[in-house]
Structure 1
Amino acid sequence: MKKLFLLSALVCGLHGFSQKMRYGALLGMNAYDIEVSGPLIAGNGLSGLNFGGFIDYQFSSHCGLKVNMIFNKTTETDYGPLESGTYYEIFDEAKLTTLQLQPLIKFDVNKVYAKGFYLQGGLNMVNILRARADDGTSLKNFYNRTAFSGMLGFGVTFLKHYSFELMGSYSLTNPIGFPESRARNMGAYTNLLIDIESFLK
């Protein structure tokens, strides 16, 4: 009898948890400017099409925890030291393959969660899987393998199944490992979220 009660409680708990959980696919892009303090100068970064997924758990009437997971390929430009007024190029372009994890606190301004405009903020953990210069040279020692950024932005849910997001991003840790240089990436993400869970209801 006790086991039956515990099993029933577990099933009810999982059902309640699933009722507040949304998940789906994510498509988007991101771009950023690179500012370096130290002997290096740099250009900017631009991704191709980002793709991945998200989960969104509602824990109060207005708030939830959302996690975006993004796989992307980004091109960064024009890294090199400036010495006595002369620029010495390290590489013209770097091709980065990254896996990004973005835990975000989401605040929905509407009375019903996930039905309109929302604000969100949190962290972005960028893990570099591969880094190569335009001539094929490995840059794994130039970049730090993991870097963190702060994120803040907004989104809007429309037509029940879709959300559009615009998120600002600013580096909290140094993404490069070049001596005596500290880079700060400042940019933005645009995301289109497709709520797969809502199609299954």
Structure 2
Amino acid sequence: MFQFMKQPPSVLLPLLRSPFQGELLAWLFLHPDEEYAQIELAKRFGVSASTVTREVDRLSGAGLIIERRVGNLRMVRADTDVVVARPLTELLALTYGPSAVLGEWLADVAGVEEAYIYGSWAARYSGEPGRVPRDVDVLIIGDVDEDDLYDAARAAERRLGREVNMRRVSRAAWEASAGDPFLDTVRSRPLVQLKIDRGRGR
């Protein structure tokens, strides 16, 4: 269901007007070689087409993105030649980067069924006030090789500029109603599910 009410300011990056603005900017600037149709962006972020249009209008007017028409589609991409592109990309990687890139890294790891960010980053993403987290905690559900997870975590750290901790649990453990103190705590706090899009690749 689309949310039409005004979003609160971003907690992860208070300089931004809304969390969606952070998500959109991070997605575009952390995928600088790709362009996207507005309708594709609306589907990815679960917002209305008009919400994407308004944000794209603002970002285009500010010179942060480039747009072109392909038939009836309005295609957009990050403008990597703008003077603030490099520092902005670094700032977005540190704040909204985890939700923009971790799902793609994990798509290459065999056995990953689901993945969630938990802990302080998930809390900030969900609107709980506090300092910007120094690391990102990721819960992996599935039968995954520890070495593969280690490699994925280190690669993600290089992309995001911060520590990434990945912990795996079995499907049976995750679906158990209770009993594991760690999982009980994780379930009681905000969780951000990652989109594991195996069709995209990196």
- Give the TM-score taking structure 1 as reference length: 0.22
More strand by share: 1
- Give the TM-score taking structure 2 as reference length: 0.22
More helix by share: 2
